[in-house]
Amino acid sequence: MAGRSKKRRNVSRTDVLRAAARKSARRQHARRRVGGLLVLLIGLPALIAGLILGARAAWMGLFLENDYFLIRAIEVTTDGELSRADILEYAGVQEGMNLFAVRPADMRASLQTVPVIASAQVGRRLPDALVIEVIERVAVARLGRPGAGSPLAVDATGHVLGPSSVRPSLPVILGVRDTGLRPGDIVKDPLLEAALSVLAICQQPELRTDLLVATVDVGNADQLEVGLATGERVLLSYDRLAEKLSRLKHMREAARRKNLDLCVYDMTADRNYAGRPAATSTEER
């Protein structure tokens, strides 16, 4: 009996030692895992930062600081009147700059902030050339703004252009309700669209020689008034403008054949168009 008790004590002591050893091993393993994670957490950002710095240094050496990629030629094309010097100034680029130090997207955005520029494309051509293509807005009318300061113009989309786009030969749009207009703005007055439509219709080949527009007045919300360069006034409702202007051409031709001196053409009624001589129009006015 005494031998069995001693054996049990030895077995229990052995189990305890083994359990303690396993516990110690687990702790060491856990410490190693924690240590590995710490090394990873600290080392990975450092590795990434090193790679980024290395890539940046390589980029600088291969491209940004390489004289092989200096801009030696800038090709500029435009369909309008802007000078090459103006376009380069607006783009913020000049010969001698590094081709990869300038961003085509930024230059394009800068160019398109210029009111007279409708769109722009900028691209690199390796190893030393930059290509800039500009499409300019075309003024189709002046804005009549009595006492409003510098004259302004508009293109066919209602974008406001500055004094450099204003030409005396352009027709004048009167009665626009927008105030405080500046180059680069877009006219909000909904009746401007009708005035621009009149100008576009009268520029069609079959009408342009006969209907030379001097003014378009949209001050009246019920009708617009077109002043022709030949002196006649044309009163139009805002519907079926193309039909009415085509009819106007035939009415003027008929008046000339009959030697009628008509000063006002009233086309506000539905298909009941009338021409009135100068005496009648003076009395009515």
Tell me the whole-structure pTM to 2 decimals.
Answer: 0.73
Q: Could you tell me the CATH superfamily of domain 67-136?
A: membrane protein fhac (3.10.20.310)
pLDDT, one tens digit per residue, over 41-64 is 665 565 565 556 555 555 455 557
Taking phi first (over 0 means left), then psi (-120 to 50 degrees means alpha), and beta for anything else, what does residue 223 get?
beta
Domain residue spans in the chain?
A: 1-65, 67-136, 139-284
Report the share of the chain in percent with pLDDT over 70.
Answer: 74
Predicted pLDDT at 284:
46
139 touches 167 (CB < 8 A): yes
CATH number of 139-284: 3.40.50.11690
Predicted pLDDT at 168:
93
The amino acid at 278: A
Distance CA 217, CA 113 (A): 30
Q: Which of 215, 216, 199, 218 is nearest to 207 (CA)?
A: 199
pLDDT, one tens digit per residue, over 89-140 is 999 999 999 999 999 999 999 999 999 999 999 999 999 999 999 999 999 9
Distance CA 12, CA 18 (A): 10
